[in-house]
């Protein structure tokens, strides 16, 4: 009997030659044993640990076995030697893999199992077999380096691919959002540069009195003022409505009071009686319940006999104060243009006040713009909404979302499309979309401004944004099919309503703002396997920010605060959008936005004495925001220690914003008491 030994060490290129040469030796097959002794240490050769393979055997094992089996088919007796060679290869590979920084736990387990199987097939003395078994089993235990290696592998094979998909989706949505913003800005800027005023696009002329007709030359106008426990502002809106310039016998002021506080109800009713005693045609209407909330109140008001005699209806929320010539400037558009259903005025919040973060704003007359930084930030967003979104929609498609107040409707258009509906929390947008699908046109007149109050408490603003965002997304879900099947509008307008108005602005915008800038970018710093192109991280958000700043040049110094604030708010908006799209239980949650009027100072002084630790936590602290701030802090710190870019500058600032807003140190504060 002759034993032929072939020692090998990482012989990927030359292993076939010695095996082939030995197997051709002139010797009886039953008296020759060929023993391949493989001491390879190259893990890339011994094992296949890539994500595309099954992470189990060694490549050398496969290659050696294949070559040995080839010669075995020709009659060479090398099976016993193969087992010994494979055992040596697997054992040594296992020892090397266990100490290798990139080995993962699945590969280790596979090698342990393979080596144990080989041990059971090879005839060895019991003591040697036991020692080898103990050695093999000990190699299966984890060391700190192995745990780190497992985490690295999980990051490479699970987190990184998922994050790449998220980055791709976010970049696509960001481009969509940027293109939409550029388009709207171009249209609104063109309107301003070429002076395409509403008076040039539509017929308008002042209403002139007629000696024969007298006041009958003026159409009947209904002014609706819906309110709910508006103790602080009810006098302002009622007083402004009663001061509108219009023939007294051709106007009806209708106060729709859904207040649940008996004391406030009495105050509102008494105010109506006071104005009635002055000769104002004013009606005070209440309901037995609040079914349908604002939509239900407006619908109930339209059912009154005197309301059915009116041609147009102007709607003002309880904190809105129109100028006396409001009707004189808006009604002519409706009178002389039979297809216009809605004339929308602009909300106005500015005030002639110089503060640390406020500059002189010519032409602005507001109630509480300078109350706090949060109200100034809101003004930037709402000014962009009116100057860009509403203007571009009115000019290009004669369509935009009704803002629910500071507008005048043609009553026949409301009746034609089925009146007010309370199926969502955006009854105003619902009515506008249904009217547009019937071919009615809308007109935005930015020169007509109506003073109003901005939410000055973060809690009130958060509830308002939830209602607006959730309702719009839910309306998209409910009306998408109706929009597609509408026959009275063109295909281009359908695309505009579905893609631009709903999908990009009401779904993509809230989701991508939070997902990309608050989740994906921070996560990318702890996953070095992925990268985000600079145009997605810098150029796109910079472009969108500049498009906002262009229309608010006097607020340029507040833009950094606006960015951080809007990113925090995007958490709540994305949540609201998903609730609306998925139509969960809280989809129709309605919380009336708190108005403080001129009583804020009093409230703050009173509450300073009455506030408690409980009210501070429940009214101001958001643990969701604070928890997310911790996540951002961790990402930023990792970026500082191990990162290769400077994202930590932005992430730290954003984390700070989450902390500040998480503790409620934004806006003003009044307790529930």
Q: Is 590 exposed, middle or buried (0-12, 13-18, 19+ CB in 10 A)?
A: middle
Catalytic residue flag (residue 311): no
> DSSP letter at 668?
B
Closest of 435, 199, 228, 229 to residue 332, by C-alpha: 199
Distance CA 664, CA 666 (A): 6
Backbone angles phi, psi at 357, to 5 degrees: -115, 25
Task: Give φ, ψ of 537 to 5 degrees.
Answer: -85, -35
Instruction: Phi first, then psi: give them for residue 404, nearest 5 degrees.
Output: 85, -10
332: helix, strand or coil: helix
Exactly one of 38, 257, 258, 430 is catalytic; name it: 258
Give the span between the Cα atoms of 524 and 13, in whole angstroms: 40
At 37, which helix (H) or strand (E)?
Answer: strand 32-38
How far, in Å, CA of 369 to CA of 372, rounded?
Answer: 7
- 91 neighbors 47 (Cβ within 8 angstroms): no
DSSP for 87-146?
A: HHHHHHHHHHHHH-TT--HHHHHHHHHHHHHHHHHS---HHHHHHHHHHHHHHTS--HHH
Distance of CA 592 to the CA centre of its chain: 22
Phi, psi angles (nearest 5°) of residue 95: -65, -40
List 257, 317, 364, 428, catalytic entry = 428
In whole angstroms, give the CA distance from residue 462 to residue 662: 12
Order of strands, sheet of 312-315, starting from the edge strand that comes earlier in the sequence: 282-286, 251-257, 221-227, 312-315, 407-410, 340-348, 441-451
Establish whether 249 is a catalytic residue.
no
Distance in angstroms (rounded) separating the CA atoms of residues 670 and 619: 9
Could you list the active site residues?
258, 428
């Amino acid at each position: 009997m002759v034993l032929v030994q072939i020692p090998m060490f990482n012989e990927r290129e030359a292993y076939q030659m010695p095996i082939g040469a030995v197997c051709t030796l002139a010797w009886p097959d039953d008296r020759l044993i060929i023993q391949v002794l493989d001491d390879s240490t190259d893990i890339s050769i011994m094992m296949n640990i890539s994500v595309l393979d099954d992470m189990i055997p060694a490549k050398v094992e496969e290659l050696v076995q294949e070559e040995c089996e080839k010669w075995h088919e020709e009659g060479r007796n090398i099976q016993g030697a193969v087992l010994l060679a494979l055992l040596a290869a697997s054992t040594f590979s296992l020892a090397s893999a266990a100490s290798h920084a990139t080995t993962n736990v699945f590969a280790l387990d596979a090698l342990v199992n393979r080596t144990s199987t080989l041990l059971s097939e090879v005839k060895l003395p019991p003591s040697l077999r036991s020692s080898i078994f103990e050695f093999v089993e000990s190699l299966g235990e984890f060391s700190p380096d192995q745990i780190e290696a497992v985490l690295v592998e999980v990051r490479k094979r699970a987190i990184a691919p998922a994050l790449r998909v998220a980055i791709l989706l976010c970049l696509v949505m960001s481009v969509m959002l940027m293109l939409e913003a550029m388009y709207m800005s171009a249209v609104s800027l063109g309107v301003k540069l070429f002076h395409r005023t509403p008076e040039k696009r539509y017929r308008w002329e002042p209403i002139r009195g007629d000696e024969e007709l007298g006041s009958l030359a003026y159409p009947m106008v209904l002014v609706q003022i819906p309110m709910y426990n508006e103790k602080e502002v009810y006098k302002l809106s009622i007083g402004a409505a009663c001061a509108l310039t219009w023939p007294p016998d051709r106007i009806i002021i209708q106060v729709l009071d859904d207040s649940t506080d008996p004391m406030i109800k009495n105050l509102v009713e008494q105010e109506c009686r006071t104005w009635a005693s002055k000769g104002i045609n004013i009606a005070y209407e209440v309901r037995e319940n609040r079914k349908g909330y604002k939509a239900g109140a407006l619908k109930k008001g339209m059912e009154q006999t005197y309301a059915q005699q009116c041609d147009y209806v102007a709607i003002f929320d309880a904190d809105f104060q129109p100028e006396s010539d409001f009707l004189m400037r808006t009604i002519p558009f409706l009178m002389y243009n039979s297809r216009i259903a809605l004339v929308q005025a602009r909300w106005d919040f500015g005030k002639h006040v110089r503060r640390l973060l406020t500059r002189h704003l010519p032409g602005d007359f507001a109630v509480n713009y300078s109350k706090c930084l949060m109200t100034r930030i809101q003004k930037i967003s709402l000014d962009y909404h009116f100057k860009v979104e509403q203007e571009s929609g009115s000019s290009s498609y004669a369509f935009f979302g009704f803002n629910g107040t500071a507008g005048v409707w043609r009553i026949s258009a409301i009746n034609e499309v089925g009146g007010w509906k309370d199926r969502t929390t955006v009854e105003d947008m619902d009515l506008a979309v249904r009217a547009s699908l019937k071919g009615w046109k809308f007109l935005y007149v930015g020169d007509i401004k109506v003073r109003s109050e901005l939410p000055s408490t973060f809690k009130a603003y958060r509830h308002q944004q939830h209602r607006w965002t959730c309702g719009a997304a839910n309306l998209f879900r409910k009306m998408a099919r109706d929009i597609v099947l509408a026959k009275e509008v063109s295909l281009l307008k359908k695309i505009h309503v579905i893609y631009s108005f709903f999908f990009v602005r009401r779904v993509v915008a809230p989701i991508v703002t939070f997902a990309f800038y608050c989740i994906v970018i921070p996560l990318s710093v702890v996953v070095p396997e992925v990268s985000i192109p600079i145009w997605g991280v810098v150029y796109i958000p910079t472009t969108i920010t500049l498009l906002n700043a262009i229309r608010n040049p006097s607020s340029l110094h507040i833009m950094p605060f606006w960015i951080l604030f809007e990113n925090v708010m995007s958490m709540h908006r994305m949540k609201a959008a998903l609730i609306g799209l998925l139509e969960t239980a809280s989809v129709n949650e309605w919380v009336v936005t708190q108005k403080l009027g001129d009583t804020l100072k009093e409230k703050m002084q009173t509450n300073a004495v009455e506030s408690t630790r409980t009210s501070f936590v429940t009214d101001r602290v958001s643990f969701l925001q604070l928890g997310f701030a911790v996540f951002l802090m961790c990402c930023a710190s990792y970026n500082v220690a191990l990162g290769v870019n400077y994202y930590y500058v932005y992430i730290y600032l954003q984390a700070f914003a989450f902390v500040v807003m998480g503790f409620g140190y934004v806006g003003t504060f009044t307790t529930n008491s």
